[in-house]
Amino acid sequence: MNEDSPHLTLYVHIPFCVRKCPYCDFYSVPDTRIGEQQPYLHRILTELQYQRHWTQNDPRPLHAIFFGGGTPSLMHPNTIQTILSTIQTQWKLTRDCEITLEANPESCTPQKITAWMEAGINRISLGVQALNNERLKQLGRPHDRAEALQALHHLQTSGIQQINVDLIHSTPGQTWESWQQELSEAASWEVGHLSCYALTLEPDTPYHTRYTQGKLHLPEEEEALTLFVNTRKFLSTRGYPPYEVSNFAKPGQECRHNLNYWEYGDYLGIGASAHGKWTDSTGQIWRTANPADLHTYLHHPLPPPEPLPKDLAGIEWLLMGLRLTRGLRLNRYRDITGHDLLRNTHEIIQHRVADGLLALDDIYLRVTEQGFPLLNTLLSELI
């Protein structure tokens, strides 16, 4: 490992939610199983030791820690504190390590925020998702508009360093006009970061079933595209340039943990359903994938890390890096795969640069604003 080595971050998955939202395919279980919080905590502490042991020769400090879910804010703050202090006994943290916790409005109280900050959390990602009650109900969210605004107020008066707000667009019946009102209000809050995801139909979700039964009507493809393109333009004019497909930040407020992921850095994944990627001192990349099942995670040995072939690593890196507005660093491809990307895909890239969909300089290959709506097509051409 040297100064050009990718950053190392750590992700902890907390798989409990108040109830399951009908569009969501993240691994989570209803909080009726919150009784399993204690065994889950113990398993996480054991896994932290196991992952440290496995990566023991890695001298890199953690650049970011991210508690995602599920709904990490449902956990007792002592649980978060115990996990964080255990992490600090095993790893060094960078002096300005970003430590994020995902929170939902209904569990974001002033007492909890204070306890999270005392534990070391310095960034909260708040799952607001929509700003009117009709849309929140449609999304099956357990909070209403008033609770979202109250949680935001608590966060903004708490002194926490960084706040992200998550929103969802392309929901049933949504038009650009109605979405623009929500965006405009969110931008007026002056938080550092906004994530605006398009609703996607995931297999085996109630939304998917309703859609295939003709009971759910989503915006047509062209309308969804308008929402996507206009969101990027609109938030840029409000001081939130997009730095990734769906993520917008004031300068310097980009999410480090997610940036590291898109830059194909290394991250350790702890908890049920968590995935990890780690590069050893020879340059070999290893993958970990924990079972997306609470019982299996709690009671069975974890699957061992698997080596990732170089060609697959090159594909993963393309899929991640081209999501970033600044694009991907060309010399990283050579570091990862031993090949020259431009030599392998020269003709396709030249065509797409001429079409104005890609842009190329000595350091970066990037997708242009005109190219972003066609990102999936561009990626399949390159792969």
- The binding site for ligand SF4 (CB under 6 A) comprises 17, 20-21, 24, 26, 28, 69-71, 104, 127
Query: In angstroms, rounded to a whole number, what is the distance separating the alpha carbons of residues 156 and 164?
Result: 11
Q: Cα torsion at 16, 99, 243, 1 (round to 10°)? A: -110
Chain-centre distance for alpha carbon 23? 17
Cβ closest to ligand SF4, residue 9 vs residue 104: 104
Q: Measured from the CB of residue 20, what is the shortest distance to ligand SF4 in angstroms?
A: 5
Cβ closest to ligand SF4, residue 24 vs residue 229: 24
Q: Measured from the CB of residue 140, what is the shortest distance to ligand SF4 in angstroms?
A: 8
Cβ closest to ligand SF4, residue 218 vs residue 328: 218
Q: Measured from the CB of residue 139, what is the shortest distance to ligand SF4 in angstroms?
A: 8
3-state percent helix, strand, coil for the chain, nearest multiple of 5 = 45, 20, 35
Cβ closest to ligand SF4, residue 14 vs residue 365: 14
| Residue pointed to by tokens 């040995």 | 301
Cβ closest to ligand SF4, residue 71 vs residue 171: 71
**70: cis peptide before it, omega within 30°?**
yes
Q: Measured from the CB of residue 247, what is the shortest distance to ligand SF4 in angstroms?
A: 17
User: How many residues are recorded in the chain?
Assistant: 383
Residue of 283, 280, 287 lying closest to 336 (CA atoms): 283
Q: Measured from the CB of residue 281, what is the shortest distance to ligand SF4 in angstroms?
A: 36
Q: Cα torsion at 68, 72, 78, 81 (round to 10°)? A: 20
Q: Measured from the CB of residue 15, what is the shortest distance to ligand SF4 in angstroms?
A: 9
Rg (CA), the chain: 21
Cβ closest to ligand SF4, residue 13 vs residue 323: 13
